[in-house]
Amino acid sequence: MKIRIWQNISLAVALFIFCTESAAWASEPFDLVQSAVEAALAILRDPKLNSAEKKQERIDGLKQVINPLFDYEEMARRTLAAHWRRRTAAEQEEFARLFRAFLERIYSDRVDRYGGERIVLGRETVDQEYARWNRKSSAPKAKKAR
């Protein structure tokens, strides 16, 4: 269960990280993601931050590392897809704000579940300004029935 949560976090980072228009980020996506993962793991593994009283401090540190990587407005726009265009600017702004708060709350609630798992980044594919990771499954492939 713990491994699955962190796989999902790393997959979410990989899928949405390059929704921004930063050319510098697009030139070295693997290094950017790896650096963020290492910084996040350093926070999670820090024994000084490992107590229940330090949970908010851990969360704040993780937000500092992770939030700059996300373009929450772009993520919100893609989430609503065709419905985004039918919303007013105020509705779009409110949805993006609520969407960000939702994601932060969901992952903040799980910060205590980290148990030392490793995060392995798969091979990246870069297409113009976007990058994505090809996730390798640890489960054996199913055989086709004859």
Question: Hey, where are the domains in the chain?
Answer: 2-134
CA distance 26 to 4: 27
Query: Percent of the chain at pLDDT above 70?
Result: 73
pLDDT digits (tens, 9 = 90+) for 54-90: 999 999 999 999 999 889 999 999 999 999 999 999 9
Q: What is each CA distance from 62 to 37, 45, 53, in whole angstroms? A: 10, 12, 16
pLDDT digits (tens, 9 = 90+) for 82-140: 999 999 999 999 999 999 999 999 999 898 888 888 888 777 888 877 777 776 544 44
Place of tokens 């990280």: 17
β-strand partners of 12? none
CA distance 108 to 61: 11
| DSSP string of 66-110, one letter each residue | HGGG--HHHHHHHHHTHHHHTS-HHHHHHHHHHHHHHHHHHHHHT
CB atoms within 10 A of CB 43: 19
CB atoms within 10 A of CB 73: 18
CA distance 130 to 76: 17
Most confident of 2-6, 18-22, 48-52, 96-100: 96-100
Give the list of residues 6+ apart from residue 58 with CB closer than 8 angstroms, or none: 43, 44, 46, 49, 111
